[in-house]
Amino acid sequence: MRKILLTGAAGVIGTDVARLLPHHGEFWRLTDIRPATSSATSWSGNVEWVQADLTDPEQANRLCNGVDSVIHLAGQPREREWSELFGPNIVACTNLWEAMRQQGVKRVVFGSSNHASGMYPATQTLSGTEAARPDSRYGITKVFGEALGSCYADKFNIKCFSIRIGTYRETPSIERELATWVSPRDLASLIRVGLQAEYHNEIVYGVSNNSRSWWRNDRAYQLGYAPQDNAETYAPDIAMTTPDKNDVATVLQGANHAGRDFTGNLEWLTNRRVGE
């Protein structure tokens, strides 16, 4: 029986993933630094809950024992000071990948973020093959996780499927989300692609089939991703604004993450093309 480890299982996305992905014929080990949620205790079948701290390498090793695949969603999900990001987003990632190597894990689906490429202009369409351009300390930690995935795929043959998750919610609520939104069921289906498809190391975008998407996501489609939702369905209910070419949060894909503390050259960033 295939054994899957899901980290961050008490988080918003982790809770939904465990609920939406079928478990038939699989054993799921769910973990979080926090206690199990009420919904977690109601899961039945081949599921176990282990409260653990991934910043402890021994705990990371025990979690990976006997595991075939990992879905790594744990970590600090927002922009914070380095002191708050270093443990959950850097140390925990390092410990987890090393534990996967030592325990013989075959693949990992990594919950990265669109903020790994948030300094690209909203006028440019990305595929995931471009150089990372993180927009924040948080975005940098996600690029670090993607780099771990690349290295361990190349050196130790641990397949890595990094998903740069867009705006995750039930429905889009602001104009930007018409491009970046991903529905819970679409993200769950993309994670399932990461668990089943044949690849070596991939970076894809966690985004629904949005008409205004900034991300092409060709590779995700080639591997079997078939999103069901489109943010355009909700466009009539969303207030539209006139773009301000001098507003960093409007011009760059990372929005407020990109705009916070910005003192750079916005004109240069806007005119620089993909690959330059």
Tokens representing residue 27 in the block: 């054993």
β strands within 147-254, DSSP E: 159-165, 167-168, 181-182, 201-206
Question: Which amino acid appears at position 149 of this protein?
Answer: G
Active-site amino acid positions:
138
Helix axes of 57-64 and 92-103: crossing angle, nearest 10 degrees: 40
- At 131 the three-state DSSP class reads coil
64 neighbors 34 (Cβ within 8 angstroms): no
